[in-house]
Amino acid sequence: MATGPLFEAVVLAAGSGSRFGGGKLTAAWGPGVLLEGALAAAFAAPVRSVTVVIGADAPAVAAAARAFDPRVLVVHAPDHAEGMAASLRTGIASLPADADGAFVFLGDMPRVPPAVLGRMAQALEGGALAAAPVWKGRRGNPVLLGRTLFPELIGLSGDAGARGVLQGLGDRLALVESPDDGVLFDVDTPEDLPQA
């Protein structure tokens, strides 16, 4: 039986949602809550596991994640107030040692088109170190990060996430065309919710 690379998914869901007024990831979205959009995309990716990194609103976010799918793994970022790097470090450090790469989803991006995820995986299988979706020339999320980048990701600090790591890759970062703008759409304030 042929087996491909072993990819995992990490959903960053530790932020406080301060611009939203708090409680962003458990705000109503369609028939469920906002976090479910990111979880649905993560489970649609070619991955072995889905890990949700929690921090602010930890009990509510963990409960929402487990209610969506009990297979989800939940890890707490104790230093989540530092910013996105803390959540990313925690998520990457929690992955199995044999993981070949990780899709990193943002909990407040509920409209990621599943069709782009398989093509991102193919880019890593073809030799890229990372892959990111693009829509009309703008790079979006989620990103897929190969295992060779994990040590650098675990060393990040601040609120920048993986952006700096990706910028240093040049043509070793594969840019994959997205079928729609869901790779750019995120929810920052309550006013963003009706746009869905």
Per-residue pLDDT tens over the stretch 48-96: 999 999 999 999 999 999 999 999 999 999 999 888 899 999 999 999 9
pLDDT of residue 158: 79
Q: Let me know if residue 127 belongs to a domain.
A: yes
Read off the pTM. Answer: 0.95
pLDDT at 132 over 50: yes
Largest CA distance in the chain: 50
pLDDT at 161: 80
At 195, the pLDDT band (50, 70, 90 cuts) reads: low
Residue 36 falls inside a structural domain:
yes
| CATH code where residue 88 lies | 3.90.550.10
Q: Which residue has the higher pLDDT, 165 or 195?
A: 165
Range of the domain at 173: 7-195
Give CA–CA dist 190/74, Å, rounded.
26
Q: Is residue 64 part of a domain?
A: yes
In a domain, 82, yes or no: yes
Per-residue pLDDT at 1: 36
How many domains, in total, are found in the chain? 1
> In sequence order, what DSSP letters do the residues of 31-91 get, joined into one string?
TEETHHHHHHHHHHSS-S-EEEEEBTBHHHHHHHHHHH-TT-EEEE-TTGGG-HHHHHHHH
Quick one: pLDDT band at residue 2, thresholds 50, 70, 90? Answer: very low
Is residue 99 assigned to a domain?
A: yes
Residue 2 domain flag:
no
138 domain residue, yes or no: yes
How high does pLDDT run on average in the chain?
A: 93
Q: Does residue 1 belong to any structural domain of this protein? A: no
